[in-house]
Amino acid sequence: MQSPRRRTLPLLAAASLLAVQLAGCAGLPAQEMSNARQAVQAARKAGADKYAPTEMAEADRLLKSATANVRKGEYRAARDEAELAREKATEARRLAEAAKTSKPDS
């Protein structure tokens, strides 16, 4: 028969590991927010407002929502929206660059 201490130690280790993982998920999504802001800025510089307005508007909307969620302490939602904003801004930039390549301004 195992001693109570031998049974408790693995449970404490598992609980500690779970707590560390949860804390990592719930933290301020500073990097994701920064990545999203940079992607939106790069898309704007590439002309996405003109060449991919739908995607650019969606990236802006998601970034604003992520910012609001950070202020409310809803870090998981903010992280998800920031990542989506980055993806949408990257798509907008790609579309803008493709449009400019196929139809150069005179």
Domain limits, the chain: 28-102
User: Which pLDDT band, with edges at 50, 70 and 90, does 103 fall under?
Assistant: confident
Longest dimension (CA), the chain: 85
Q: Is the pLDDT of residue 88 over 70?
A: yes
pLDDT digits (tens, 9 = 90+) for 27-76: 999 999 999 999 999 999 999 999 999 999 999 999 999 999 999 999 99
- Is the confidence at residue 9, as pLDDT, over 90? no
* CA dihedral for 55, 60, 66, 72, sign (positive or negative): negative
Instruction: Provide the CA 9 distance to its chain's centre, in angstroms.
Output: 37
Residue 16 has a pLDDT of 61
pTM above 0.95? no
